[in-house]
């Protein structure tokens, strides 16, 4: 049982889930480059990739910024200050304190897909989730953002005018799934501000 001091401590957003597709490598590299080394949150990334072969995205993100980035492994503990990238041909899901990789059906034509990550993060972490949609075509991520919102989490999307491919961000906005619309150059600062802002107790109990 939590102590009185633990119960009164401000709750913090500490899980960032990010989805991207076409044009997403550039956007992800920019976002990661702008994040601080002492980020008090974990970041989980889904980029639509081919199901065959290996992804070079973990290496790209590891070189781009100050946070370590690796390909996710099934059962791996989730640690703050680390970036986890969904491997090809697997959905990446969030358990209470670990990652789960599944070979479930494709969603929106993709595996990995963004919506399964967002849904699982909302179920397990509720108001602690910051969900981000970056450049991409079509609408993957919109439904997942809505689940995050209903669980009390916060959603951000890249400004469509700022994205190489505006489809995914625009879909999120048109469906009311974007709490914040942010240019890519300001995305890291917006995320850090949300992390530093205590969660409303009403949302924590949601």
Q: What residues are labeled active site?
A: 21, 48, 140
d(CA 194, CA 158): 16
Burial degree of 100 (CB within 10 A; 0-12, 13-18, 19+): middle
What does the DSSP assignment read for 129-190?
EEEEE-S-SS-TTHHHHHHHHHTT-EEEEE-GGGSSS-HHHHHHHHTT--SEEE-HHHHHHH
């Amino acid at each position: 049982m939590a102590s009185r001091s633990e119960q009164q401590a401000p709750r913090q957003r500490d899980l960032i889930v990010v989805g991207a597709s076409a044009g997403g490598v550039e956007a992800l590299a920019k976002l990661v480059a702008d994040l601080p080394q002492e980020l008090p949150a974990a970041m989980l990334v889904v980029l639509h990739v081919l199901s065959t072969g290996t992804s070079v995205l973990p290496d790209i993100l590891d070189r781009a910024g100050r946070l370590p980035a690796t390909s996710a492994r099934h059962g791996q503990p989730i640690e703050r200050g680390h970036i986890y990238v969904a491997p090809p041909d697997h959905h990446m899901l969030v358990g209470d304190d670990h990652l789960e990789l599944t070979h479930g059906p494709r969603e929106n034509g993709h595996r990995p897909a963004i919506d399964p990550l967002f849904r699982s993060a909302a179920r397990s972490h509720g108001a602690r989730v910051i969900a981000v949609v970056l450049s991409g075509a079509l609408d993957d991520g919109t439904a997942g953002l809505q689940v995050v919102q209903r669980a009390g989490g916060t959603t951000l999307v890249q400004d469509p005018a700022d994205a190489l491919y505006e489809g995914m961000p625009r879909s999120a906005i048109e469906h009311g799934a974007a709490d914040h619309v942010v240019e890519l150059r300001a995305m890291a600062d917006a995320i850090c501000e949300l992390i530093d802002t205590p969660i409303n107790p009403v949302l924590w109990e949601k």
